[in-house]
Amino acid sequence: MAVANDIYKKMTGPGASVIRKMFEEGAQLKKVYGEDKVFDFSIGNPDLEPVQAVEQAVLEVANDRTKGRHGYMPNAGYTEVRQAMAEKTNFEQNLSGKPGTGLGEALTAKHIVMACGAAGALNSVFKAILNTGDEVLVPVPYFVEYGHYVSNHGGKLRTLTATEDLSIDITAVKKSLNERTAAIIINSPNNPSGKIYTKENMSDLVKVLNEHGKTTGRYPYIILDEPYRAICYNGKNPVSMFPLYSESIVVTSFAKNLSLPGERLGYIAVNPACKDVDVLVNACIFSTRILGYVNAPAMFQKVAAKCWNCDVDYSSYINRMKEITRAVSSAGIEFIEPEGTFYLFCKVPSNKKGDKDDFAFCNHLKKYNILVAPGTGFGCPGYFRIAYCVSEKTIRNSAGAFKKAVEDWI
Nearest CB to ligand PLP, comparing residues 20 and 367: 20
Residue 29 beta carbon to ligand PLP: minimum distance, rounded to whole angstroms:
22
**Beta-sheet strand order (sheet of 221-225):** 112-115, 266-270, 248-253, 221-225, 181-186, 135-139, 156-160
Binders of ligand PLP among residues 21 to 60 (CB under 6 A) are 44
Per-position b or e across 235-268, b if 16+ CB within 10 A of its CB: eeebbbbbbbbbbbbbbbbbbbbbbbbebbbbbb
Nearest CB to ligand PLP, comparing residues 217 and 292: 292
Nearest CB to ligand PLP, comparing residues 118 and 328: 118
Binders of ligand PLP among residues 194 to 213 (CB under 6 A) are none
The 3-state DSSP class for residue 315 equals helix
118 binds ligand PLP (CB under 6 A): yes
DSSP string, 65-122: --TTTTS---TT--HHHHHHHHHHHHHHHT--BPTT--TTBPP-GGGEEEESHHHHHH
Opening angle at CA 232, ends 40 and 46, nearest 5: 30
Among 42, 89, 187, 287, binds ligand PLP (CB under 6 A): 187
State the Cα–Cα distance between residues 185 and 137, nearest whole angstrom: 6
Residue 185 beta carbon to ligand PLP: minimum distance, rounded to whole angstroms:
9
119 binds ligand PLP (CB under 6 A): yes
Residue 255 beta carbon to ligand PLP: minimum distance, rounded to whole angstroms:
4
Residue 351 beta carbon to ligand PLP: minimum distance, rounded to whole angstroms:
30
Among 92, 135, 225, 247, binds ligand PLP (CB under 6 A): 225
Distances (CA, A) of 393 to 37, 41, 116, 368, 404: 11, 13, 33, 17, 18
Determine if residue 114 is left, alpha or beta; phi over 0 gives left, psi from -120 to 50 gives alpha, anything else beta. Answer: beta
Among 46, 117, 139, 194, binds ligand PLP (CB under 6 A): 117
247 binds ligand PLP (CB under 6 A): no
State the Cα–Cα distance between residues 231 and 196, nearest whole angstrom: 11
Q: Which stretch in 61-69, 113-121, 174-182, 239-247 sits in contact with ligand PLP by CB under 6 A?
A: 113-121
Q: How many Cβ atoms sit within 10 Å of the Cβ of residue 285? A: 19
Residue 368 beta carbon to ligand PLP: minimum distance, rounded to whole angstroms:
25
Q: Which stretch in 50-58, 116-124, 193-201, 213-221 sits in contact with ligand PLP by CB under 6 A?
A: 116-124
Nearest CB to ligand PLP, comparing residues 386 and 399: 386
Sign of CA dihedral 291, 292, 294, 300: negative
State the Cα–Cα distance between residues 95 and 104, nearest whole angstrom: 5
* Pattern 226-245, ligand PLP, x by CB under 6 A: -x------------------
Residue 100 beta carbon to ligand PLP: minimum distance, rounded to whole angstroms:
33
Nearest CB to ligand PLP, comparing residues 222 and 405: 222
Binders of ligand PLP among residues 140 to 159 (CB under 6 A) are 143
Residue 119 beta carbon to ligand PLP: minimum distance, rounded to whole angstroms:
3
State the Cα–Cα distance between residues 76 and 294, nearest whole angstrom: 9
Rg of the chain taking only CA atoms, in angstroms: 21
Query: Where are the alpha helices (H) located in 259-333, listed in sequence order?
Result: 277-290, 298-307, 315-330
255 binds ligand PLP (CB under 6 A): yes
387 binds ligand PLP (CB under 6 A): no
Q: Is 11 exposed, middle or buried (0-12, 13-18, 19+ CB in 10 A)?
A: exposed
Taking CB atoms, the residue at the shortest distance from ligand PLP is: 117
Q: Which stretch in 12-20, 86-94, 117-125, 159-167 sits in contact with ligand PLP by CB under 6 A?
A: 117-125
340 binds ligand PLP (CB under 6 A): no
Applying CB under 6 A, which residues contact ligand PLP?
44, 117-119, 143, 187, 191, 225, 227, 253, 255, 261, 266
